[in-house]
Structure 1
Amino acid sequence: MMDRGIQRELIKALLQLNEMLRGIDFSDGVQRQTVVEILEAVNKRCKMDFTAPKAAAYAESLSGLAQIIGQTDWLNLQAEEKHECRNLCQEIIQIVIGKLRQESEIKKDIVFLPYKASMWDSLESVWRAASEDREHCNTYVIPIPYADRNEDGTVAAWHCEADMFPDDVPVLDWHEYTLEKLKAWQPDAIFIHNPYDDHNAVTSVDGQYYSSKLKTATAHLYYIPYYSTSGGMSENQKSCPAYENVEAIFVQAECLRGFFDESVRDKVQPLGSPKFDKVIHLCQNPPEPPAGWREKMKGRKVYFYNTSLQGMLADVDAFVQKMMYVFKTFEGRQDACILWRPHPLMMATLKSIRSEAVAKYEAARDYFITHDIGIYDDTPMIETAIAWSDVYIGDSGTSVTSLFGVAGKPIFVLDNQIHELPGPDDWLGKAFNGVQSMDEDWIITWNNCLFHSPNHDHHYEFYCRLAEDQDGAYYQYVHPVDDKLYICPAGIPEVLVIRNKKIIKRIKLREDESRHGLFARSVMLQNKIFMIPLRYSAIVCLDVSDDSVTYIEGTKDIVSILLGDFWFVGGSCVWQDKLVVSAASSAKQFIITPETLAVETIDLAPDRISGFSGLIPEDDKIWLLPIQGQEIWCWDPRKGNVKKYVGFPDGFTCEHPGMHFECDLMPLGSVAFANDTVYITPNWGNKFLKLDRASGKISEWKNDFKPSPQAANGYLYTWAIGWFFWQGWDQITTRLPKFMYAPTRTLYQVDWQREQWEKVPVSFDDDSKERMAIGFDRMSKWFLYGCIENAFNSLKDLLDGNIHGKAFDKERQLKAYESIAVNNDGTAGEKIYAYTRKQLGI
């Protein structure tokens, strides 16, 4: 292979030489020697930089010409003979120039720059399509070095995995293809699968291969994601450094375009995923497994256990406990073989950003290996493991589920919070999945079903299904209006209208970024329903008198904010027939008049950098609970004054319920009023509090509840300790509240005067419970088909073949995954190469 820049230099030198030959005096030894030296220099460069046989022939032609010019006694030639010799020399040079130009113009050089061998599948089928087009294309695979990073961002270790690529993939030494050499060469196209440049805390490719540098080395820089998805995309993939520098971003389907930042969406080309190509071809023709694996697989169903980075980062302690639970569930079974494949960056990520958990993870890993639980797969290629496996078990937020999806193999998603078999009442965790409604007569369960308590006694009966999808937290609040029900969304941009157990209307909201978690809550005020955004771009107002929709703009990234991996949203309440919504990142309060939708903004403390998670009205005042810090505010909007209560009891602190680090975030949950005392439940705080109105003192409120969101088990997992609730906003101060203690999903009626907490029986009939045992089905637009571990279907149930609900249906799964993967017949790489050919003018 010749460097493209050198190729051009040689053509230029030979053209100059041809000009010299027009006027050369062959009798002049000095002129002849100059020509010879140029020819020998060009010849030497050709031998050095050409590798093809015919290229070597060009060099030999030049060498022969140099000998003729240097050795012939030109003094004895007549003028006509000298002219013929000059023409011969020019003809030979012109032939070489023509051949060089021909190669340059017809054969295109396409370079692939993978860094992880395990991620080569994201490029491989494109490379194969290009390498098979020998008439038009030269392909070059150059594995580039990358570094693991320490917690402070410094380099921990350098790697190059060139020796880990498949035997039939010819790889080149990156030392010979540094940035400077690539810039001189100017290959026609370069493909990369790392979008981060320097914006990755865990790993980084060598800086000379950042996209900002590579775009100077080629006219066409392309990016193919190293992952595949089941229909959604991580928030941190929305805008990566490489997107600005590449010409095209190849994704698996059109549905992913909306996940990218608007500024780069025109670069998105939905042509399929090479990762799917690889797994489809291998599942059709699986290779022989390694000898040591065959014996463990023989006569057993093979379960591919996937532990993802996202699952680990969400809660590392629960993640490691889950590993041990899975290992012990498989231990000793003769009918099931577990093939565990940790994420290839697991150790690097732990060491870089969760170093305190390295020892725990290593202990679990060593238990698996030393007890010979199953197969430990640390081979570079994931697709072979998929081809050898029968069933997927593991995290949902990972591209591996989509690979099993297009392969038509069952997907059983594990819950990393579950570390034991379910108890008799643990199903309540799916019945009461969150704060569904301020109206206690209606419950929306985890599987998008609406349940009703017709006698107002918390005995719930199935009312109707809200969506065919079985999961996804699509809806969360119920607002009865005359003979209709308005069902407001959480994760889907539409409102349902129901009458007599049937959906009679779907009110579509404008499309927003295609992510779940669009709305935090909804509030009914007069004849309007206000939907408070979490990730949505506006407050939405629905007028139930005519079902018209209005958008209150200007609140994006104010009412809610993303801090780290968690979304915080400001509180809201109805006060004096107006809606008050708090900012999450400041002390701004938005007062909305429902008749006109006019918005008044009041900043209670311009220097404050955090807002309030709870707003609780009391007569003409509003109590404000902070998102951050240890204080409680009482605001009188009419007078414009704020009274601040500080001085939390000694030892009060907060703990992040997922990351388990001490913080001062989300200290308080909800408030109830009893004469001269204000009772406050914690959220992430570690103490129940009470505030004496007369003295202003805040003290610890002793009761029988554990002040921690830590549930008895993972089936009842929650991020909140509990909350008070009433029938409506207007009854907060006139009616005794009920209290839901979230870690046990137990409901209590509170009697302040008698200081009694009476349990309120909550029940579902058997038919209703059966509806929550789903089995294998379409779960949501983010999880197209599979089964989820919960109290209705445990991991043991799966291994025993005792799934409750629908059985696995391969054809349904394959049909479902067609929507998130175009060209899912194994031809995505061919389609991407065809696009590239067109761009290169082939």
Structure 2
Amino acid sequence: MRNFQQKKILEMIQTLAEANAEIKRLFLQKEFSSFLQVLADCQEFVAAICGFIEEIEGEGTQTVALFGEYYGLLYQASLAVEQKKNRSFLKHLKEQLNKITNSVKTELKPNKLEVVFFPYNASMWDSLESVWLAANNDPCCDAYVAPVPYYELLPNGMFGKMHYEGSEYPDNVPITDWREYDIETRRPDIIFIHYAYDDMARNARIHPDFYSKRLKEHCDLLVYIPYFVPVDDVVEDYCAVLPGVLYADKVIVQSEAQRQSYINLYKQYDKQGGWNGRFGNPMEKFVALGSPKYDKVAEAQKVAYSLPEAWEWQLYRQDGTRKKVIFYNTHMFTWINGGKEYFKKLQAVFAFFRSRDDVVLWWRPHPNTELNFRTLQPQLLDEYMRVVREYKEAGWGIYDDTPDLHRAIAMSDAYYGDYSSVVSLFIAAGKPAMTQNIHEGHSAEPYMLPTCLYVDDEFIWFTLYGKNALFRMDKQTGKSEFVKLFPDIVDNGEYFFFQSAAKVGDTMFFTPAGANNITTYNVVNQSMTLIPLKPPVAIPGINYTSKWKFHDALVYGAKVFFIGFSYPAIICIDTLNRNIDYFTDWVPEFVKQLKSHSEYVLLSRACQNGSVIVAVSEHTNAVLVFDMNTCKTEIHKISNKATGWTSICFDGIDYWLVPKSVSPVVRWNLQDNKITEYSAFPDSFMPVEYRSIKILNAGNYIWIFPYNGNMILAINRDNGSMEIMREFDSGLGGLSGYTFAYLSGEKIYAIPRCGNLIEEYDVMTGDLHIRSLNIDACLAPDSKKMPGSSLSVYQEGGLFTAKQFLRIVSNNDYTGTANHNAIHDLAVNNGTVGRAIYDLLKAEIVL
């Protein structure tokens, strides 16, 4: 007996109780003809009920016997018409119905469940499988699996090609034809779905008969279990209002944090939409029991999978040793949104892995990739098909379009590809994962560009472009190493976080360019602290940008002065008490000197002469003089044709300024305002705007390092001659250059734009030492956490390349301990999720 069947019997008994009342009324009003007809109808109804019970329970039940007695009482009631005044039958009918009701509740207790699973995609069956296994193993449950068809959408919104994957499920799963399972007649106790979009998707839709709103009407519990597993704690807003979420009685989510995210979003939409709880109580609707996909991961690790022969031989080298298998996941929407650039990335990936004889690529595109190209980007469909065809024909890698995702996970050693829920499945399996960056190629070594440099007696300290980490190089051994992450900075691969550094005592101060705060690092206790900045005051003529706040930091006694690049201030930090002063009174007058107000450069560079700072701008030939004792400023105009300066240095007597535009280098004396111009550039010099990134006074020369340019120039201070400094060899044959140059004692440290090295030049001896960064980019996994997630995942780009990731995989350097702990926090009931879900829902159906 099933729950709905018992309910149906009780409802029919209630109908008889209502008929009893009608019988009484007709008898008392002496409408005997109608009275006898109702009695006959009731007898026929009782016979139907007994037949219904015997069809389910067989013959010989006490309940049917009691119905037989009730049938007899109906006959006795018909005889009362002749007796007229004998009403005792009314009491007997009522008492008998009470006996029947009690018998139904005790003898015909529900002892059988019927549950049905309506998956739509065979490759996503893992999100329901362990629940089905629990139900199928319950002798009190009839479990059905009826895969439903789905249709590609045509441009006009009509249904196009139909897809049905009923033949692609595991052999141990009996499949029921979706056309033969009548939910209205069978009325299952529980319906499970893993697709919540119904008619909201823009690429494909399931058959309308299986939209959640309709399913809800024909079962006691509609249960939605997502086919994906988010790797973070926050769900996308739209997920909380998908039809399958709204109409479901229960939504099974991965973790308590995700449950709270769903609840918060649901409440927000409930209020905005004026639903007034129409779609249920969120505290009861959303249940954190984990994802059955994790059960499948655990189970798959124990299976001895067999592979097609064409795949098997690719797993081994000629000497018989096994290659490392890299699972390559391309997500359909990342690919479609990436367009042509993604196709270029794909070719780079294929070329890289094809060149390796120690690994094999196991490419498994998202199962709906072709469908989405056909419906959303049809102009790229042929190119997609060509890429797939050529990869398969080449035969150097494995192409997997089967429904069995977990075979691929079990057979692979690591994950590489787009960010998707498959990442968390690899982590759950204890395997490393790296997300690809479609903007990155596959060069042999990572591109590492130092952006900030400070040199002390032991180390060269530096930061890297787009990386929120501090590094140092041992000057004796040349070994580079990771020191510490900068707090409160997200790796975005885009900005110069810091532009310069200064040191007072044991503490280094890092000048924020793209970073949000001034950051300090104590070299003794290895601690970092943040010094927040005030929001800049909006000043007409200054186009402030958070990407370039400050450039230079200069030390005077116990104070550090930070020179605003686009930030409209000079800031002073007293390192003894950490007091901060903002000096801005000079800004309005200086802004008046700027030739262009559309640029974000206020002060481009600065140099120091004792207590005096002299700063220049790219947009005026005026210079700013700031006295660090009095904190007073003066503006001096240099009367030559320059429209602005890119850099400045001091030689002990005069200041040297490099122009922004093609014009002479200027030597300027602050005291008498005398200027001398130097324009005898070498014949092979190629003039380019912004050609100088730094000018230094070292030895008997003024050194000019270009950002865009084809040579390093040096001006002899004695005779004013310009020379090409060929001692440096950074490949400046064409337009190239440097991003930074720094003078420490008698040595110049320069950063070529080609990256990956630091050039150290001894001014006294003329020796050039090329220092390769050689950073071990295999940082602790915690430094590679995905945004918004507690899971540690390697991310391709800049510091970390696919080649280095393979080094980790090949050397088995991955432990995954932190990830296992995070997975435990993110997903409850790992290994027993299906059983937990089934047991909870079975208890909901009163048996």
The TM-score bracket by the shorter chain reads 0.5 to 0.7
- Is 1:401 aligned to 2:406, yes or no? no
- Is 1:279 aligned to 2:297, yes or no? yes
- Is 1:477 aligned to 2:497, yes or no? yes
What is the distance in 2 between the residues matched to 1:596 and 1:840? 72
Q: Secondary structure at the match of 1:147?
A: strand
Going from structure 1 to structure 2, the CA distance change for 1:444 and 1:152 (only over 3 Å counts) comes to farther
What is the distance in 2 between the residues matched to 1:177 and 1:491? 61
What is the distance in 2 between the residues matched to 1:51 and 1:201? 46
Correspondence for 1:156: 160
Correspondence for 1:830: 835
What is the distance in 2 between the residues matched to 1:162 and 1:238? 27
Residue from 395, 411, 414 that aligns with 1:392: 414
Going from structure 1 to structure 2, the CA distance change for 1:188 and 1:320 (only over 3 Å counts) comes to same
Residues 150 and 351 of structure 1 are in contact (CA less than 8 Å); yes or no, is this contact kept in structure 2?
no
Residues 708 and 737 of structure 2 are in contact (CA less than 8 Å); yes or no, is this contact kept in structure 1?
yes
- Write the deviation string for residues 751-792 of structure 1: whole angstroms up to 9, x where unpaired: xxxxxxx97786349998333431784453327346555688
Correspondence for 1:122: 127
What is the distance in 2 between the residues matched to 1:133 and 1:504? 58
Going from structure 1 to structure 2, the CA distance change for 1:161 and 1:772 (only over 3 Å counts) comes to same
Residues 486 and 496 of structure 1 are in contact (CA less than 8 Å); yes or no, is this contact kept in structure 2?
yes
Q: 1:476-515 to 2 correspondence within 5 Å?
A: 477-478=497-498, 483=504, 484=507, 497-500=520-523, 502-504=525-527
What is the distance in 1 between the residues matched to 2:370 and 2:290? 30
Going from structure 1 to structure 2, the CA distance change for 1:524 and 1:816 (only over 3 Å counts) comes to same
- Is 1:250 aligned to 2:257, yes or no? no
Correspondence for 1:747: 738
Going from structure 1 to structure 2, the CA distance change for 1:126 and 1:391 (only over 3 Å counts) comes to same
User: Post-superposition shift, 1:723?
Assistant: 12
User: Post-superposition shift, 1:55?
Assistant: 9.8
Residue from 559, 567, 574 that aligns with 2:567: 574
Residues 472 and 781 of structure 1 are in contact (CA less than 8 Å); yes or no, is this contact kept in structure 2?
no
Residue from 369, 375, 381 that aligns with 1:352: 375
What is the distance in 2 between the residues matched to 1:378 and 1:359? 18
- Write the deviation string for residues 28-83 of structure 1: whole angstroms up to 9, x where unpaired: 9997776565565676689789985559989998998999999999999999xx99
Residues 43 and 74 of structure 2 are in contact (CA less than 8 Å); yes or no, is this contact kept in structure 1?
no
Q: Superposition RMSD on alpha carbons, in Å?
A: 6.5
Q: Secondary structure at the match of 1:823?
A: coil
- Write the deviation string for residues 455-495 of structure 1: whole angstroms up to 9, x where unpaired: 9xxx9976831169999559973486874557799999999
TM-score, normalized by length of structure 2? 0.58
Going from structure 1 to structure 2, the CA distance change for 1:77 and 1:248 (only over 3 Å counts) comes to closer
User: Post-superposition shift, 1:342?
Assistant: 1.6
Letter in 2 for 1:149: L
User: Post-superposition shift, 1:154?
Assistant: 4.1
Residues 326 and 414 of structure 2 are in contact (CA less than 8 Å); yes or no, is this contact kept in structure 1?
yes
- Write the deviation string for residues 776-830 of structure 1: whole angstroms up to 9, x where unpaired: 844533273465556887657777x686987233656534543433333x02233
Correspondence for 1:341: 364
Letter in 2 for 1:820: L
Going from structure 1 to structure 2, the CA distance change for 1:822 and 1:17 (only over 3 Å counts) comes to same
Q: Secondary structure at the match of 2:301?
A: helix
What percentage of residue pairs aligned between the two structures are identical? 23
Going from structure 1 to structure 2, the CA distance change for 1:706 and 1:380 (only over 3 Å counts) comes to farther
Residues 2 and 49 of structure 1 are in contact (CA less than 8 Å); yes or no, is this contact kept in structure 2?
no
Q: 1:570-719 to 2 correspondence within 5 Å?
A: 573-575=566-568, 619=593, 623-624=597-598
User: Post-superposition shift, 1:343?
Assistant: 0.7
What is the distance in 1 between the residues matched to 2:645 and 2:356? 52
What is the distance in 2 between the residues matched to 1:449 and 1:232? 25
Correspondence for 1:640: none
Residue from 366, 372, 375 that aligns with 2:395: 372
Residues 477 and 487 of structure 1 are in contact (CA less than 8 Å); yes or no, is this contact kept in structure 2?
no
Residues 303 and 336 of structure 1 are in contact (CA less than 8 Å); yes or no, is this contact kept in structure 2?
yes
Correspondence for 1:229: 230
User: Post-superposition shift, 1:277?
Assistant: 0.9
Correspondence for 2:463: 443
- Write the deviation string for residues 408-445 of structure 1: whole angstroms up to 9, x where unpaired: 234354444455552xxx53x3446xx89999995245
Letter in 1 for 2:484: R
User: Post-superposition shift, 1:397?
Assistant: 0.7
Structure 1 residue runs of 5 or longer lacking an equivalent are 510-520, 535-571, 579-593, 598-615, 626-631, 635-669, 681-689, 691-702, 708-721, 728-735, 751-757
Residues 2 and 50 of structure 1 are in contact (CA less than 8 Å); yes or no, is this contact kept in structure 2?
no
What is the distance in 2 between the residues matched to 1:453 and 1:37? 98
Residues 197 and 205 of structure 1 are in contact (CA less than 8 Å); yes or no, is this contact kept in structure 2?
yes
Residues 774 and 806 of structure 1 are in contact (CA less than 8 Å); yes or no, is this contact kept in structure 2?
no
What is the distance in 1 between the residues matched to 2:591 and 2:59? 84
User: Post-superposition shift, 1:270?
Assistant: 3.6
Letter in 2 for 1:818: H
User: Post-superposition shift, 1:361?
Assistant: 1.1
What is the distance in 2 between the residues matched to 1:216 and 1:491? 56
User: Post-superposition shift, 1:215?
Assistant: 5.6
Residue from 800, 806, 809 that aligns with 2:815: 809
Q: Secondary structure at the match of 2:409?
A: helix
- Write the deviation string for residues 200-241 of structure 1: whole angstroms up to 9, x where unpaired: 322233456555665666675544322123336675666543
Q: Which moved more, 1:324-333 or 1:270-279?
A: 324-333
Correspondence for 1:612: none
Q: Which moved more, 1:313-322 or 1:211-220?
A: 211-220
Q: Secondary structure at the match of 2:521?
A: strand
Q: 1:158-307 to 2 correspondence within 5 Å?
A: 158-170=162-174, 172-175=176-179, 190-207=191-208, 209-211=210-212, 221-231=222-232, 235=236, 239-242=240-243, 243-246=245-248, 249-256=251-258, 262-264=264-266, 267=283, 269-289=287-307, 300-301=322-323, 302-307=325-330
Residues 593 and 620 of structure 2 are in contact (CA less than 8 Å); yes or no, is this contact kept in structure 1?
no
Letter in 1 for 2:266: V
What is the distance in 1 between the residues matched to 2:179 and 2:146? 10
Going from structure 1 to structure 2, the CA distance change for 1:29 and 1:126 (only over 3 Å counts) comes to same
Going from structure 1 to structure 2, the CA distance change for 1:236 and 1:622 (only over 3 Å counts) comes to farther
Residue from 471, 484, 494 that aligns with 1:465: 484
Letter in 1 for 2:255: A
User: Post-superposition shift, 1:348?
Assistant: 1.5
Q: Secondary structure at the match of 1:340?
A: strand
Correspondence for 2:651: none
Return the index of the structure with the highest Cα Rg. 2
Residues 340 and 377 of structure 1 are in contact (CA less than 8 Å); yes or no, is this contact kept in structure 2?
yes
Structure 2 residue runs of 5 or longer lacking an equivalent are 268-281, 539-543, 548-564, 572-580, 585-589, 603-616, 622-640, 647-660, 662-684, 696-703, 710-733, 742-750, 760-769
Residues 508 and 523 of structure 2 are in contact (CA less than 8 Å); yes or no, is this contact kept in structure 1?
no
User: Post-superposition shift, 1:341?
Assistant: 2.0
Going from structure 1 to structure 2, the CA distance change for 1:109 and 1:37 (only over 3 Å counts) comes to same
What is the distance in 2 between the residues matched to 1:120 and 1:449? 42
Letter in 2 for 1:360: E
- Write the deviation string for residues 702-735 of structure 1: whole angstroms up to 9, x where unpaired: x99999xxxxxxxxxxxxxx999899xxxxxxxx
What is the distance in 1 between the residues matched to 2:144 and 2:687? 65
Letter in 1 for 2:401: D
Aligned pair count? 655
